[in-house]
């Protein structure tokens, strides 16, 4: 049997510095013995194990929507969607996460594309997911038999272990983004997956304007008394753009009238919540929409945990750590843990515009563990 060896990154080297022993032949021998026994002394490691604040492996990165859509469209021409591959989805791979299809250490983000008349087959998984639609319409997603219209600006949470399939009922292709907690569930080795029926009944491919969950749960401040009091994931399966837009516009209008309503001057924000408890829509994923008034700038914020943003509308500049990008509709970018983030909305040449940013992140995980911290400024 070959002796165990530690992978080279943890091969023990005598180093100089505070708290380090003098290099000597005896120390070398001791370190080789540690290696043979698969032991690592803390004094050589503590700086990496316990940095003074989070130092993310992920890097800030931006993907341009025009490239994402162009490549998804090419895949639409030559890659069929069906059982086995399951989804025509292209995942954003953060350049410093070892080639894995992970946008951040906890979050998966992708553009998904369906050609006219196409079906993405039914399955379910324990990972929590959502869809957000930056442009287009015509696809219905069927979640446990409830057919949900997908249109620009809508947010559709889909908690783990619910059956789902998608159907493009329109005569044009449609793209949208998916977010899932796949990296987190991989890291915690908690994944389950099951195939569903190969064909969804035609009757389930209904195209209602409003899905059953909206008809039951979609009224602010009103809950159906017959339903459970507390649900860990939201029972409301579609959050419509008209409501989100109105909520943001009113925050800015109230601010202009002198009433406190916004996060900071010119920066309105809403969080999508579970109507049974007011908490995040999904156990592992927080989702929000932010609106920055033309010419305004958000405060600089650092948070424990990572986020992915998609520009919903408008244009401006986003600054993530040492990177800054001019962004426009559809562009997606990553804000790693504890990296400072701010956004400034461009002043458009004509008409009053604002910068709308859809954001999703892993904050519920850290809040549940009492590990959340935020620093402003
Ligand atoms: C999935 O089921 C969807 O239902 C999207 O649209 C992305 C990525 C990995 C595994 C399952 C969807 C997915 C996924």
Residues 165 and 71 in one domain: yes
Residues 195 and 253 in one domain: no
| 342 belongs to a structural domain | yes
| 231 belongs to a structural domain | no
**Exposure of 342 by Cβ count < 10 A (0-12 exposed, 13-18 middle, 19+ buried)?**
middle
> What pLDDT does 175 receive?
98
Residues 142 and 254 in one domain: no
Cβ count near 209 (within 10 Å):
7
Residues 286 and 163 in one domain: no
Q: How far is the centre of ligand 1, averaged over its atoms, from the C-alpha of 230 (Å)?
A: 26
List of residues 6+ apart from 349 with CB closer than 8 A? none
Query: How many domains is the chain partitioned into structurally?
Result: 3
> What pLDDT does 42 receive?
93
> What pLDDT does 352 receive?
64
Q: How far is the centre of ligand 1, averaged over its atoms, from the C-alpha of 87 (Å)?
A: 6
> What pLDDT does 3 receive?
54
| 222 belongs to a structural domain | no
| 118 belongs to a structural domain | yes
Ligand 1: residue of 130, 132, 180, 185 to mutate (most ligand atoms within 8 A of CB) is 180
Residues 65 and 211 in one domain: yes
Q: Is 112 in the pocket of ligand 1 (CB under 6 A)?
A: yes
Is residue 287 a contact partner of residue 360, using CB atoms and an 8 Å limit? yes
> What pLDDT does 31 receive?
94
Query: At which of 202, 217, 232 does a domain end?
Result: 217
Residues 287 and 316 in one domain: yes
Residues 98 and 212 in one domain: yes
Range of the domain at 44: 3-49
Residues 69 and 213 in one domain: yes
List of residues 6+ apart from 369 with CB closer than 8 A? none
Sheet-wide strand order for 301-303: 323-327, 316-320, 341-345, 301-303, 374-376
Residues 112 and 191 in one domain: yes
Q: Is 103 in the pocket of ligand 1 (CB under 6 A)?
A: no
Q: Which atom of ligand 1 is nearest to the CA of 131?
A: 6
> What pLDDT does 350 receive?
65
> What pLDDT does 157 receive?
98
Which residue from 86, 88, 69, 68 is spatially nearest to 78, judged by alpha carbons?
88
Q: Which atom of ligand 1 is nearest to the CA of 108?
A: 8
| 193 belongs to a structural domain | yes
> What pLDDT does 1 receive?
44
Share of the chain above pLDDT 70, in %: 96
Cα(290)–Cα(309) distance, integer angstroms: 10
- In this predicted model, which residue has the larger pLDDT, 200 or 268? 268
Q: Is 143 in the pocket of ligand 1 (CB under 6 A)?
A: no
pLDDT digits (tens, 9 = 90+) for 20-76: 999 999 999 999 999 999 999 999 888 889 999 999 999 999 999 999 999 999 999
Residues 68 and 200 in one domain: yes
Residues 196 and 66 in one domain: yes
| 72 belongs to a structural domain | yes
Confidence of residue 9 (pLDDT cuts 50, 70, 90): very low
Ligand 1: residue of 87, 92, 124, 184 to mutate (most ligand atoms within 8 A of CB) is 87
Global pTM reads: 0.94
Q: Is 139 in the pocket of ligand 1 (CB under 6 A)?
A: no
Q: Is 164 in the pocket of ligand 1 (CB under 6 A)?
A: yes
pLDDT digits (tens, 9 = 90+) for 307-330: 999 999 999 999 999 999 999 999
Residues 75 and 34 in one domain: no
| 166 belongs to a structural domain | yes
pLDDT at 290 over 80: yes
pLDDT digits (tens, 9 = 90+) for 181-220: 999 999 999 999 999 998 888 877 899 999 999 999 999 9
Q: How far is the centre of ligand 1, averaged over its atoms, from the C-alpha of 367 (Å)?
A: 25
Q: Is 87 in the pocket of ligand 1 (CB under 6 A)?
A: yes
Query: At which of 217, 251, 277 does a domain end?
Result: 217
Sign of CA dihedral 289, 62, 89, 364: negative
Q: Is 329 in the pocket of ligand 1 (CB under 6 A)?
A: no
- Collapsing DSSP to helix, strand or coil, 214 comes out as helix
Q: Is 125 in the pocket of ligand 1 (CB under 6 A)?
A: yes
The CATH number of the domain holding residue 107 is 2.60.120.10
Q: What is the mean pLDDT of the chain?
A: 95
């Amino acid at each position: 049997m070959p002796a165990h060896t530690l992978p080279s990154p943890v091969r023990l080297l005598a180093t100089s510095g505070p708290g380090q022993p003098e290099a000597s032949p005896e120390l070398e021998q001791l370190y080789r013995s540690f290696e043979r026994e698969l032991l690592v002394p803390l004094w050589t490691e503590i700086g990496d194990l316990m940095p003074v604040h989070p130092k993310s492996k992920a890097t800030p990165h931006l993907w341009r929507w025009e490239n994402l859509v162009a490549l998804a469209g090419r895949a639409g021409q030559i890659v069929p969607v069906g059982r086995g591959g399951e989804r025509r989805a292209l995942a954003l791979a953060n350049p410093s996460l070892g080639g894995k299809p992970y946008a951040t250490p906890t979050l998966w983000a992708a553009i998904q594309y369906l050609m006219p008349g196409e079906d993405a087959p039914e399955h379910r998984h324990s990972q929590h997911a959502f869809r957000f639609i930056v442009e287009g319409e015509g696809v219905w997603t069927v979640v446990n038999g409830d057919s949900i219209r997908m249109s620009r600006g809508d947010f559709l949470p889909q908690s783990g272990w619910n059956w789902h399939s998608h159907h493009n009922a329109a005569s044009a292709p449609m793209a949208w983004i998916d977010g899932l907690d796949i990296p987190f569930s991989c890291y915690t080795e908690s994944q389950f997956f099951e195939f569903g029926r190969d064909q969804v009944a035609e009757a389930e491919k209904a195209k209602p304007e409003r899905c059953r969950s909206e008809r039951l749960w979609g009224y602010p401040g009103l809950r159906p008394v017959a339903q459970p009091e507390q649900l860990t994931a939201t029972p409301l399966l579609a959050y419509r753009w008209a409501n989100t837009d109105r909520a943001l516009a009113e925050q800015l209008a109230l601010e202009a009238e002198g009433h406190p309503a916004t996060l900071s001057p010119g920066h309105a924000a809403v969080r999508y919540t579970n109507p049974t408890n007011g908490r995040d829509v999904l156990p592992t994923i927080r989702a929000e929409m932010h609106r920055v008034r033309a010419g305004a700038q958000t405060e600089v914020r650092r948070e424990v945990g990572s986020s992915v943003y998609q520009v919903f509308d408008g244009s401006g500049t986003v600054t993530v750590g040492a990177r800054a990008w001019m962004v426009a509709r559809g562009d997606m970018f990553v804000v790693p843990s504890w990296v400072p983030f701010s956004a400034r909305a461009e002043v458009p040449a004509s008409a009053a515009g604002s910068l709308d940013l859809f954001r999703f992140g892993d904050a519920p995980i850290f809040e549940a563990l009492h590990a959340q911290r935020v620093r402003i400024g």
